[in-house]
Amino acid sequence: MLTTHRTATIVAGLALTLVATRALQAQTAPAAPVAQAATAQSEPPPGPGLAIIKEKCSTCHSTASVFGQHRSPDDWAATVQLMVDRGADLSPDEQNVVIGYLAENFPAPAKPAAK
């Protein structure tokens, strides 16, 4: 059974640990989340596909979820086709404009060069 003095010592130790941990976190907070937040809030590049995406794609999900992706042209084509199959109202011409816009502005990350 814990004594009152021992309980108070444990609580004080835990409080001190929490304060020290918070102070260290504040000093060593990574810059990446701030940069990501700024990027997510910035307006996507202008282009004919942007208006179509804002009008047609945002009926089911946020445009941030679209602009947060980075894919190859073939993967963008497959994604757009999947959305059309699920009910997105895009004409074939609109599909091509959207795929071109996304492939140009949100490409897949470059793969590291082979050694």
Ranges of each domain in the chain: 47-105
pLDDT of residue 5: 65
- Angle of helix 73-85 versus helix 92-105 axis, rounded to 10: 140
Distance from C-alpha of 50 to C-alpha of 98, rounded to nearest angstrom? 8
pLDDT tens for the 115 residues of the chain, in order: 557 766 666 655 555 554 555 555 555 444 444 444 434 457 899 999 999 999 999 999 999 999 999 999 999 999 999 999 999 999 999 999 999 999 999 999 988 877 7
Q: State how far the Cα of 68 lies from the Cα of 79, in Å rounded to an integer.
A: 14
- Domain 47-105 fold: Cytochrome Bc1 Complex; Chain D, domain 2 (1.10.760)
**Separation of alpha carbons 34 and 39, rounded Å:** 9
pLDDT of residue 36: 43
Cβ neighbours, 10 Å, residue 50: 19
Copy the structure tokens of residue 17: 């640990």
Q: Would you say 97 and 55 are in contact if contact means Cβ atoms under 8 Å apart?
A: no
Alpha-carbon distance of 41 to 62, in angstroms, equals 12
